[in-house]
Amino acid sequence: MDLLDRLRDAIGEKYVLTGNDCAAYARDWTGKYEAQPMAVLRPASTAEVSAIMKIASDTGTPVVPIAGNTGLNGGAQAPDQLLLTLDRMTAIREIRPKARTAIVEAGVILSQMHDAADAEGLIFPLTFGARGSARIGGVLSTNAGGSNVLRYGNTRALTLGIEVVLPSGEVLDLMSELHKDNSGYDLRDLFIGAEGTLGIITAAVLKLAPKPRAYATAMVALPSLDEALVLLNRLQEVSGGAVEAFEYMPGFYIETHLEHVEGARPPFEQTHDINVMVEIGATSPRDATPGEDGTVPVVAMLQDTLMEMVEAGTVLDAVVAQNEAQRREMWERRERAAELSVVRRPLVITDVAVPLDKVATFLSEATARIAEIDAEAQDLTVAHLGDGNIHYVVWPGQDDPAHQDRIMEIVEDVVTELRGSFSAEHGVGLAKKPSMQRRKDATALKVMGQIKAALDPQDIMNPGKVLP
């Protein structure tokens, strides 16, 4: 019996896709990474995933997990390999409101998780533009971040337990609901962020949070990024640490948004170089209950604070959302970043993290150094300013892979000098493997290689990704 016949017996013939039936899975949304897999496998249970991996282990066949296929770094490319999707494993098994946890399968779409939590008056606070297609297994495998990391942390911070199928087919049950467990190595965090190179995450126990009773959201123009940090710290003080989002959009980003998005409106009557969207979430009735005049306290607090800073000259302009439609308009402007970044080709996509007070230094240094080798280069930048994560996309003046790699090296140089990271939240995949080789601590790479060899001695689990 050949490999595909064994797989058909294990999960059902119609769930082993080949040929043209693989087209929807074989190309990422950027169009950069495209490869024909041997087959696309669609198991419906952890037992079926285990059966697949036992067959793959027995035959030495590579398996590549794929989630929502919205990654940017080629982490799900599977040329003539088995591509495994959990798009049939979409059960939200249980929401436990009193414990504020959810037990879910890895194929659940992020927006579905949001809806399920909302029905219980709670939130799953991980959010980003691709929430309508990204799946829980994918966000776990890349340790996704998004816009609310400032208050709630990234995916690791939102996860209590996971279930993993190892390359051997063994099932590792780490589905803990505990907030404290010091019984040995933290294997959970080993698999979160491993991009499917150590095993396939099939289920998770996720943390939920109280749903804010009211939001205060604003667009703010500032004279400098240093003043933006002054604003952030001030808002954290007056809100008791309730700032959820603090998103930087420079003037050129606003121009690009206006140019390419039909019906888009500028955030202010005048143009500004430094634009920040800030959102505060109020969970206390004291901060969220409208007064007799209809004023919501958290909104009034934001307005008063911004007015004080305008009068002091540390804020240039501010517009506070007065209703949900205005709030959504502000969010839509920020969440268009991914599609705006690909309106021109060629492009160099970087996703870096630096200390909060070094964001301005990174931007000025990287832009100046790139201009020295490419006077026509243009950068499109947005940043999760509250956690130091910068999405720095460069449109180079020439379509030459060697030139583009040189631009990437310049970005790495600046990040290294600032004690930052060349990879913040998008994962490594294929795109950042050269960066891993050049910049990652040699001892760290050695240890990672030893872990990979111990868990996946045949190198069948998403081979060729992450590790150089």
Print pLDDT tens along the chain (468 aa): 699 999 999 999 999 999 999 999 998 887 888 899 999 999 999 999 999 999 999 999 999 999 999 888 889 999 999 999 999 999 999 999 999 999 999 999 999 999 999 999 999 999 998 999 999 999 999 999 999 999 999 999 999 999 999 999 999 999 999 999 999 999 999 999 999 999 999 999 999 999 999 999 999 999 999 999 999 999 999 999 999 999 999 999 999 999 999 999 999 999 999 999 999 999 999 999 999 999 999 999 999 999 999 999 999 999 999 999 999 999 999 999 999 999 999 999 999 999 999 999 999 999 999 999 999 999 999 999 999 999 999 999 999 999 999 999 999 999 999 999 999 999 999 999 999 999 999 999 999 999 999 999 999 999 999 999
The verdict on whether omega for the bond into residue 97 sits within 30 degrees of 0, i.e. cis, is no
Asked whether residue 266 falls in the same domain as residue 376, the answer is: no
Q: Give SS3 for 176.
A: coil
At which of 184, 210, 236 does a domain end? 210
The predicted structure's pLDDT at residue 72? 83
- Contact between 400 and 377 (Cβ < 8 Å): no
Query: Is the residue at 465 inside a domain?
Result: no
CA distance 245 to 255: 22
- Contact between 258 and 264 (Cβ < 8 Å): yes
Asked whether residue 292 falls in the same domain as residue 387, the answer is: no
Domain of 133: which CATH number?
3.30.465.10
Domain interval for residue 58: 3-85
Domain of 416: which CATH number?
3.30.70.2740
Domain of 37: which CATH number?
3.30.43.10
Domain of 305: which CATH number?
3.30.70.2190
Query: CA torsion 311→312→314→317, rounded to 10°?
Result: 0
Asked whether residue 164 falls in the same domain as residue 251, the answer is: no
Nearest to 458 by CA among 182, 11, 89, 57: 57
At which of 317, 337, 357 does a domain end? 337
What pTM was computed for the model? 0.94
User: What residues contact residue 226 under an 8 Å CB cut-off, 6+ apart?
Assistant: 357, 360
- Dig out the tokens for 107 from the structure: 């194929």
User: What residues contact residue 215 under an 8 Å CB cut-off, 6+ apart?
Assistant: 279, 280, 281, 282, 298, 321, 327
Query: Is the residue at 463 inside a domain?
Result: no
- Dig out the tokens for 138 from the structure: 């994918």
Asked whether residue 244 falls in the same domain as residue 294, the answer is: yes
DSSP 433: H
Asked whether residue 309 falls in the same domain as residue 238, the answer is: yes
Number of structural domains the chain divides into: 4
Query: Is the residue at 455 inside a domain?
Result: no
- Contact between 367 and 361 (Cβ < 8 Å): no
Q: Residue 121: is it exposed, middle or buried by C-beta count within 10 angstroms (0-12/13-18/19+)?
A: exposed
CA atoms within 13 A on the CB side of 245: 29
The predicted structure's pLDDT at residue 367? 97
Asked whether residue 181 falls in the same domain as residue 296, the answer is: no
Query: Is the residue at 218 inside a domain?
Result: yes
- Contact between 362 and 390 (Cβ < 8 Å): yes
Asked whether residue 199 falls in the same domain as residue 233, the answer is: no
